[in-house]
Amino acid sequence: MIVLGVDPGLTRCGVGVVNASPGQQPRLVHVAVIRTPADDPLESRLLQIDAALAEVIDAHQPDAMAVERVFSQHNLRSVMGTAQVAGLVLLAAARREIPIGMHTPTEVKAAVTGSGRAGKEQVTTMVTKLLRLDARPTPADAADALALALCHGWQAPMRAKVAAAL
């Protein structure tokens, strides 16, 4: 299963594509960070992210997408930008009829490190090991996107089985 994980952000939006087929070693397909200038108008930044995200989707044809579930942060401006980009991701998936999962940071950390309280360094270290990468993905947004993709790739088959059983 090819999964596109997106760590939403206005200034840095991490995108990571992995092949996370059940029973197989997960494999890196693509990783990048979409960057937009902080002094550009909001609508321009969203348009840039949308176009770059569409390129990744078109190039890699993911079977599923995963996005970080927006949670309350102390910086209202930051959480608004994150939520707006997450909305773009949901819309991009809906337009292409790609199944999407939303995962909390705690859920993703637990999936890749075994602890929902893991720090960014631990997540990056585990993503590097799990994908057998020669170098650590940087910045943290890239590693977070890969962690989202891994989390979803591992959980989606089980969630589908549970849904089918209901």
Q: Which pLDDT belongs to residue 79? A: 87
Question: Mean pLDDT across the stretch 143-149?
Answer: 98
Q: Which pLDDT belongs to residue 74? A: 65
How crowded is residue 90: how many other Cβ atoms within 10 Å of its Cβ?
16
In the structure, what pLDDT confidence band is assigned to residue 78 with cuts at 50, 70 and 90? confident
Helix (H) or strand (E) holding 82: helix 76-96
To the nearest whole number, what is the mean pLDDT of the chain?
Answer: 94
3-state secondary structure 104-133: CHHHHHHHHHCCCCCCHHHHHHHHHHHCCC
In the structure, what pLDDT confidence band is assigned to residue 72 with cuts at 50, 70 and 90? low
Active-site residue numbers?
A: 7, 68, 141
Lowest-confidence segment of 20-24, 39-43, 99-103 by average pLDDT: 20-24
Q: Provide φ and ψ at 113, rounded to 5°.
A: -120, -20
Q: Which pLDDT belongs to residue 162? A: 78
114 HSE (CA, 13 A, CB side): 3
3-state SS class at 151: helix
Domains of the chain, CATH where assigned: 2-165 (3.30.420.10)
